[in-house]
Amino acid sequence: MAPLCGLVYLWMEYRALSATATELSTHLERRNTELLEARQSLSRSAGIDPLTSLASHSAFQEFLQAEWRRALREASCISVMMVDVDRFSEYNDRLGYQAGDECLAQIGSTLKEMLGRQGDLVARYGGGEFAVVMSRTDRQHASRVGHRICAAVENLAMAHPDSDVSSCVTVSVGVCTSTPATDSNWEELELVAGANKALTLAKKQGRNRIDAVEGQPENPNLE
């Protein structure tokens, strides 16, 4: 009888320890979730996109406003580039959102490595789209960078089973360049609109390519 009582006691101890372990595990998961949410909130308040560690949408707008004002003072040109992952919805649908997040993180890291000058900023604009500010950069140079971006992303060789563009993940790029002038009603957000217009043209013409549109003349005094 004594051995049986001992086994019952051990079983009850085991059940109690298991319940305690489950409770601790649940508490730890809850704390980890709270810490992750806190880090994401801190990143957003610091102007950083938590997924890619790039500048956030709001930080991009603030930086663009500041660089536009500087370009106005210097009478220098400024370019905005919009970079969109081709068929990103299909990528998420086929491979899952975790794979989509990893894809964006890789592309974001690639863009950041390619655009490291003072006066450049790479930001996560939203969804599968990135935005780039390139200060003191004319349309020709910005277009060259755009071509290099298209090639660099395709060279990452991230398989995209449902793309009608390539077997790998690709991006389309739109560029708009302007030289701010005091006698013009152009503002910095029109650069974004122009870059999005160019991006739409790149998509219509087959994707995995760059297009540029005329913004305000880069040298208004030469008209």
Token pair of 161 as six digits: 């089973």
Of 193, 155, 156, the closest CA to residue 174 belongs to 193
Token pair of 189 as six digits: 């957000």
- Return d(Cα 57, Cα 180) in angstroms, integer: 22
Coil vs helix vs strand at 158: coil
Best-predicted range by mean pLDDT (10-14, 15-19, 167-171): 167-171
Each residue's pLDDT tens digit, 54-82: 999 999 999 999 999 999 999 999 999 99
- For residue 102, pLDDT over 90 is answered with yes
Each residue's pLDDT tens digit, 86-101: 999 999 999 999 999 9
pLDDT of residue 140: 95
pLDDT band at 138 (very low <50, low <70, confident <90, very high): very high
Q: Do the Cβ atoms of 56 and 47 come closer than 8 Å?
A: yes
Q: Do the Cβ atoms of 154 and 218 come closer than 8 Å?
A: no
Q: Apex CA 83: angle with CA 80 and CA 87, to 5°?
A: 155
pLDDT of residue 26: 65
Q: How many CB atoms lie within 10 A of CB 14?
A: 10
Each residue's pLDDT tens digit, 15-37: 777 777 677 766 566 665 444 44
Q: Do the Cβ atoms of 101 and 50 come closer than 8 Å?
A: no
Under 8 Å CB-to-CB from 217, ≥6 apart: which residues? 178, 179, 223
pLDDT band at 223 (very low <50, low <70, confident <90, very high): very low
Strand blocks (E) in the chain:
78-85, 120-126, 129-135, 171-178, 210-214
**Ranges of each domain in the chain:** 1-46, 57-222
- Provide the percentage of residues in the chain whose pLDDT is more than 90: 69
Q: What is the mean pLDDT of the chain?
A: 86
Least confident window among 44-53, 76-85, 149-158: 44-53
Place of tokens 């563009």: 165
Q: What is the CATH number of domain 57-222?
A: 3.30.70.270
pLDDT of residue 27: 59
pLDDT of residue 29: 62
Each residue's pLDDT tens digit, 108-130: 999 999 998 888 999 999 999 99
Per DSSP bridges, beta strands 129-135 and 120-126 are antiparallel
